[in-house]
A and B are shown apart, each in its own frame.
Chain A
Amino acid sequence: MLEFIQGYYAYIFLATAFTIGLYGMMVKQNLMKKVLGMSIVAATTIMFWIVGAYKEGAGVTVLDPRYGVENPEMYLNPLPHTLMLTAIVVAVVTLGVALALLIGIYREYKTLDEPTLLERMK
C-alpha cells in the first residue's frame, strides 16, 4: 500500500488537479475564471510529463565529469524536460491571446460575466 502511494501519489494528484481545471472551464460563469482553469489544465499536463521523466536517485541533465556518459541511470530523462519547455511557451502564448480576446470582449460589452454577456449580445 505504501509503495502504491509512493509510486502514484503524484499521478493521482495531477489527475485531480486536471479535473479541477476542467471544472473551472466548464462550470464557471466568469470568462476570467475560464482562463484560469485553462492555465491550471496546461500546468497540470506539463507536470504530468515531468513526473514521467523522474528516475529514483538521478541528478540534473548536465553532464557531470564524475559519472561520465556510461551510466544513464545517474541522469534524469532529458526528453520530457525539453518537450515541456516547448509546451510551457505554447501555454504562455495561448494565455496571452486569451487575455487579448478578453480585453476585446470587455471593450465591446463592458462585462466578463457570461449571462450578462449573452444578454448584451442580443
Chain B
Amino acid sequence: MISSQSPILIPMTFLFAAMLIPLVGAVNRAAAHLAAVLGSALALYFSVIGMQTTLAQGRISYHIAGWMPPIGIEFVLDPLSAFVCTLLCGVTFIVMVFGKRSVEYEIPQKEIAFYSLSMLLLGGLAGMVMTGDLFNLYVYLEIAALAGYALVAIGDKRAVVSAFRYLVMGTVGATFYLLGVALIFISTGTLNMADIAQLMPLVHDSPAVIVGLVLIVLGTALKMALFPMHAWLPDAYTHASTTATALIAPIGTKVSAYVLFRVLFFVVDPDHLRTEMLNLLQIIGYLGAAGIIWGSIMAICQSELKRMLAYSSVAQVGYIAVGIALASPLGFIGAILHALNHAVMKCCLFLVSGNMRLRLGHSSIPLMTNGLRKSMPWTSAAFTLAAISMIGLPPTAGFFGKWYLALGAIEQSHWIFLTALLISTILNVAYFFRVMERMYLKPQDPGGVDYSEQTIARSEAPASMLIPTLFLAISLLVLGFANAWIVTNLIVPMIPGWL
C-alpha cells in the first residue's frame, strides 16, 4: 500500500508534522524537535520506497481524490521527481538532526514556530516536485515561499530587511508564474501538464502561449536566482540563521530549477523547443554563464564566510542553467548530477559555518587563524573536503557534474559555456584556498609566533552538530566513487525520450 501511495505521502508527512508540532510543542517544548526529526525520517523512508517503485515500474500517476487527471489533480512519480524528492528528504533529515543545538543558540524561544515553518517549507517543496498540475504547483510554491520568508526574517539585525526584499522578489516571481499559467490556460483550456504537452503542437505558434511560457520561465528564474535576478539571494542567506540557510540554500533553488526542467523538457513540445524556442534556451544558458563568472568574482570579494557561500550559490545555479541550455543527454546528466552534488556540498559548508558560529561566535574570514585547525580539527577537515569538491578535483563528487557539463559543451561546440566552466574553476580555487590558507597556515598574531608548538584548547562542536557535518563530507567521497552507478541507474532513466 505504501508504494502505491508514496507520491502523496512524501509531502503530506512534512505537512502533518508541521501541523502537529504546535500542538505537541504546547505540551512539551523538546518534543517539537523530535517530531521534526521523525517527520523527515519518515518522509525519507517513503521517498526511498517511491524511488524503488518508480525504478521498477516506470512513471506512476497518482489521482488525488480518485478523479482522472484532466478533471482532478495528478501527482507524478517518475525517476526525476523521485530522485529530487529523495535528495530533498535526505538533506532535510541531516539538517534537522544538526538543528537542535544551533537553533537553541541562534534563535532562542522560537523553536516551535521554527520547526513548524521548516516542515512547511519542505512540504511545499516536496509538493512542487511531485505535482503534475500547473496551478497546484503555484499553491505549493506559495507555501514554500511564505515559510521561506519567515525563516529568513529571523537572524541578525538586518535579516528583516533582506526578508522583505526576498518577499517582494518572490511575490513578483510567483505572480509572473500565475499570469503565465493564466495565458496558457486560456489558450488551451487545461491545467494538467501531460494534457498541455499533448495540446502544445496545436497552439505553439500563438504569441499568447509563447509569452506565457516566457513568464513562467521568468518567474521560476527569479525564484531560482538566475544571474540578473539574483539580488535577493546573498542578503537573504547571509543574515538568516544557520539552520534556515542550510535548509533553503541547498534545496530551495534546486527545486525551482527542477520546475524549469519540468516545464521546458516535459511540457513544451520537443520539436518546438528544438527549433523556435531554442533562443529562450540560449538566453537561459548565457545568463547562467554570466552568473557563473559574476558569482565567482563576487565570492572572492567577500569577507564573511556565509556571504561568500551565498555568492557561490549564484554561480552554482548558473551551472544548472547551462546544463538546461545544452538540451542534450550529457547536459541533462550534468545538470542533475551537479544539483545533487551541490546540494550536499553547500549543505556541508553551511553546517561548517554554523559550527564556527556556535564555537567562535562569528564566521568572518579575516578573523580566522590557524588556531582553528587546532581547536576544531574535524570541522576544518570537513570544510577542506567540501571545498575541494566545490573546486572540482577528481576523487570528490563535484568533479563529475562539471565533467559531464564540459563534455556536453564540447559535444555541441558551445565554447562560451566551456570557457565559463573553466574560468570558474580557477576562481573557485581562488576563493576557497583563501579560506583554507587562513585556516591552516596563518599564524594567530602578526608577530609570526608558531602556535603549532603550543596547546590550544580543543573546542570542537557538539556531537549532534559534528556528526551530520562529517557525514555529509564523507558522503561527498562516496558520491564521487559511486557516480557511474548513479548516472546509469538513476539519472539515465529520467532523461525524456526525445532528448
Contacts and interface: CB of A to CB of B under 8 A. Distances in A.
Residues of A contacting B: mostly = helix
Size category of the binding interface on chain B: 20 to 34
Contacts of A31: 164
A31 B167 CA distance: 12
Contacts of A105: 160-161, 164
A77 B186 CA distance: 11
B160 A45 contact: no
Interface in A83-122: 83, 86-87, 90, 93-94, 97-98, 101-102, 104-105, 108-109, 117, 121
Given A25-B172, A102-B164, A121-B158, A52 B149 contact: no
B172 A41 contact: yes
Nearest to A117: B161
Contacts of B168: 25, 34, 38
B64 to A, nearest CB: 15
Contacts of A102: 164
Contact of A45 (B139, B146, B167, B179): B179
A18 interface: yes
A100 B167 CA distance: 11
A22 B172 CA distance: 8
- The DSSP consensus for interface residues of chain B is helix
Contacts of B139: 86, 90
B179 A18 contact: yes
A101 B171 contact: no
Contacts of A41: 171-172, 175
Contacts of B261: none
B179 A97 contact: no
A105 B160 CA distance: 6
A52 to B, nearest CB: 4
B163 interface: yes
Contacts of B161: 105, 109, 117, 121
B492 interface: no
B135 interface: yes
B179 to A, nearest CB: 5
Contacts of A117: 161
A24 B167 CA distance: 15
B178 interface: yes
A41 B179 CA distance: 10
A76 interface: no
Nearest to B161: A105
Given A25-B172, A45-B175, A101-B160, A52 B167 contact: no
B146 A97 contact: yes
Interface string B410-436: 000000000000000000000000000
B179 A42 contact: no
Nearest to B208: A11
A49 interface: yes
B160 A87 contact: no
A108 B164 contact: no
Interface in B139-157: 139, 142, 146, 149-150, 153, 157
B182 interface: yes
Given A34-B168, A48-B179, A90-B142, A97 B158 contact: no
B399 interface: no
A117 B163 CA distance: 14
A101 B149 contact: yes
Contacts of B167: 94, 97-98, 101
B16 interface: no
B163 A101 contact: yes
Interface string A15-54: 0001000100100000100100010011001001100100
Given A34-B168, A83-B135, A94-B142, A42 B175 contact: yes
8 contacts: A41-B171, A42-B175, A45-B182, A87-B178, A97-B146, A97-B167, A101-B167, A104-B160
